[in-house]
């Protein structure tokens, strides 16, 4: 889990990278940018906000032959070994980005290469390299007094509420390609940023396995539990699954199955479904792993806990107390109306 609030920008270098395919060139600043309190505060919010809002999906720098052939890995290693080399190496980063910017869709833009300290990664302070790019320019209005009138001047600039692209390379796990986070606000050229520039692979850590296993469970609930039972049981299964992850530090599949799957007949169905669908989520051979709490929290927000009825009525289940949905909600069939019904028990209505 990452915490960027105490993070400090130690140095920052600014360059401009054009589209090589359009012969736009690259502009490399000869000196680092001189920060002050105002620009530091603004840039920290501009750079870090997307990472606070985004699900944490970690990557690692990689190469099919050897890590040493990954350009950013070599540059990052030089910087971490000698932070004083940051500006000269920032030019190499910008040049490398320029060399990959050869597709007609890739936009030119400013590149900010920063050295960061006091990044809290899993409650441990580490240094990091931040690489950020602004591409989209927005029109904005400025006003000037001209004699007795107020005049409008239209200018173009960067919207500091929306970072176009960014990555953080943390000074941990060097031998495996460091730990990397990436954000991309413009999905049309993700391949060039992740594959061509960064050269990353997904990092299969506790966050990866927690997130993917819960996604797998969600599809099992939809494809198997719902057809075999009903919507209520689908929702309850996912409630139990998420709560099992939330209250445990480590995952063990046999314990999970015994606690979460109430109908014993569905256990072999689950195992068969894992053989069939597990490779899609990279969990086919995974039955034990540490649980990432942040990934559980993110999954809880995304999983639907609502039963939508064709009579325009919704029944919302409680993820925290799933036993309430089992004790106080009953499903039945009304012969006279030839319709299903839900019977809900309660003592009093809560004030919203």
Assign 282 to helix, strand or coil.
coil
CA distance linking residue 291 with residue 206, whole number of Å: 6
Q: Does residue 189 have a pLDDT over 80?
A: no
Question: How is residue 224 annotated by DSSP?
Answer: I
Q: Does residue 305 have a pLDDT over 80?
A: no
Average pLDDT over residues 316-340: 75
Tell me what pLDDT residue 348 has: 82
Tell me what pLDDT residue 47 has: 95
pLDDT digits (tens, 9 = 90+) for 168-178: 999 999 999 99
Task: Decide: 61 and 180 in contact? Cβ < 8 Å.
Answer: yes
Span of 127-131, 229-233, 261-265, 290-294 with lowest mean pLDDT: 229-233
CA distance linking residue 169 with residue 182, whole number of Å: 9
CA distance linking residue 74 with residue 35, whole number of Å: 27
Work out the mean pLDDT of the chain and round it to a whole number: 89
CA distance linking residue 225 with residue 234, whole number of Å: 6
Tell me what pLDDT residue 17 has: 95
Span of 77-81, 267-271, 303-307, 323-327 with lowest mean pLDDT: 323-327
Assign 168 to helix, strand or coil.
strand
CA distance linking residue 117 with residue 123, whole number of Å: 14
pLDDT digits (tens, 9 = 90+) for 206-259: 999 999 999 999 999 999 998 888 877 888 888 889 989 999 999 999 999 999
Q: Does residue 317 have a pLDDT over 90?
A: no
pLDDT digits (tens, 9 = 90+) for 100-150: 988 888 889 999 999 999 999 988 999 999 999 999 888 888 899 988 999
CA distance linking residue 101 with residue 121, whole number of Å: 31
Question: How is residue 192 annotated by DSSP?
Answer: I
**Token pair belonging to 300:** 């809880």
pLDDT band with cut points at 50, 70 and 90 for residue 324: low
Tell me what pLDDT residue 320 has: 60
**Token pair belonging to 125:** 């302070």
Q: Does residue 319 have a pLDDT over 60?
A: no
Which residue in 62, 85, 60 sits closest to 75, CA to CA?
85
pLDDT band with cut points at 50, 70 and 90 for residue 188: low
How far does Cα 223 stand from its chain's mean position? 26
Contacts with 222 (C-beta within 8 Å, 6 or more apart), sequence order: 234
pLDDT digits (tens, 9 = 90+) for 35-75: 999 999 999 999 999 998 887 889 999 998 899 999 999 99
Give the 3-state DSSP-derived string for 96-127, with helices as H, strands as E and coil as C.
HHHHHCCCCCCCCEEEEEEEEEEEEECCEEEE
Give me the residue label for tokens 């792993």: 289
pLDDT digits (tens, 9 = 90+) for 88-108: 999 999 999 999 988 888 889
Tell me what pLDDT residue 313 has: 85
Q: Does residue 321 have a pLDDT over 70?
A: no
Long-range Cβ pairs for the range 218-221 (8 Å, 24+): 218/303, 219/277, 220/270, 220/273, 220/277
Task: Decide: 153 and 144 in contact? Cβ < 8 Å.
Answer: yes
Task: Decide: 160 and 141 in contact? Cβ < 8 Å.
Answer: no
**Token pair belonging to 195:** 């594959």
Sign of CA dihedral 52, 58, 63, 67: positive
C-alpha pair distances (Å), 141 with each of 10, 109, 154, 155, 195? 33, 21, 5, 6, 38
Span of 164-168, 238-242, 303-307 with lowest mean pLDDT: 303-307
* Phi and psi, residue 181, nearest 5°: -115, 145
**Token pair belonging to 226:** 């719902």
pLDDT digits (tens, 9 = 90+) for 332-352: 888 888 988 888 888 888 776
């Amino acid at each position: 889990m990452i915490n960027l609030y105490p993070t400090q920008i130690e140095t920052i270098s600014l360059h401009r990278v054009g589209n090589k395919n359009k012969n736009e060139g690259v502009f490399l600043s000869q000196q680092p940018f001189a920060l002050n309190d105002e620009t530091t505060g603004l840039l920290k919010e501009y750079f870090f906000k997307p990472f606070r809002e985004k699900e944490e999906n970690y990557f690692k720098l990689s190469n099919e032959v050897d890590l040493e052939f990954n350009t950013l890995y070599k540059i990052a290693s030089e910087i971490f070994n000698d932070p004083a080399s940051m500006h000269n190496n920032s030019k190499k980063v910008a040049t490398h980005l320029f060399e990959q910017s050869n597709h007609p869709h890739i936009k030119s833009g400013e590149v900010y290469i920063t050295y960061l300290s006091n990044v809290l990664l899993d409650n441990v302070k580490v240094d990091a390299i931040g690489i950020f790019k602004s591409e989209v320019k927005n029109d904005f209005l400025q006003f000037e007094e001209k004699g007795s009138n107020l005049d409008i001047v239209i200018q173009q600039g960067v919207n500091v509420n929306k970072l176009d692209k960014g990555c953080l390379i943390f000074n941990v796990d060097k031998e495996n390609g460091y730990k990397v986070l990436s954000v991309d606000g413009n999905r049309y050229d993700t391949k060039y940023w992740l594959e061509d520039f960064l050269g990353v692979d997904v990092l299969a850590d506790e966050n990866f396995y927690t997130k993917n296993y819960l996604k797998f469970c969600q599809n099992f609930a939809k494809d198997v539990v719902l057809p075999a039972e009903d919507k209520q049981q689908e929702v309850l299964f996912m409630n139990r699954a998420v709560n099992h992850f939330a209250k445990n530090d480590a995952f063990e599949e046999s314990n999970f199955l015994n606690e979460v799957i109430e109908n014993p007949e569905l256990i072999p169905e689950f195992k068969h479904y894992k053989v069939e669908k597990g490779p899609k989520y990279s969990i086919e051979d995974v039955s034990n792993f540490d649980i990432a709490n942040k990934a559980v929290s993110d999954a809880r927000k995304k999983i639907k806990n609502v039963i939508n009825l064709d009579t325009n009525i919704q029944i919302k289940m409680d993820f925290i107390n799933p036993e309430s949905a089992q004790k106080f909600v009953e499903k039945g069939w009304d012969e006279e109306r030839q319709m299903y019904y839900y019977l809900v028990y309660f003592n009093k209505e809560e004030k919203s």
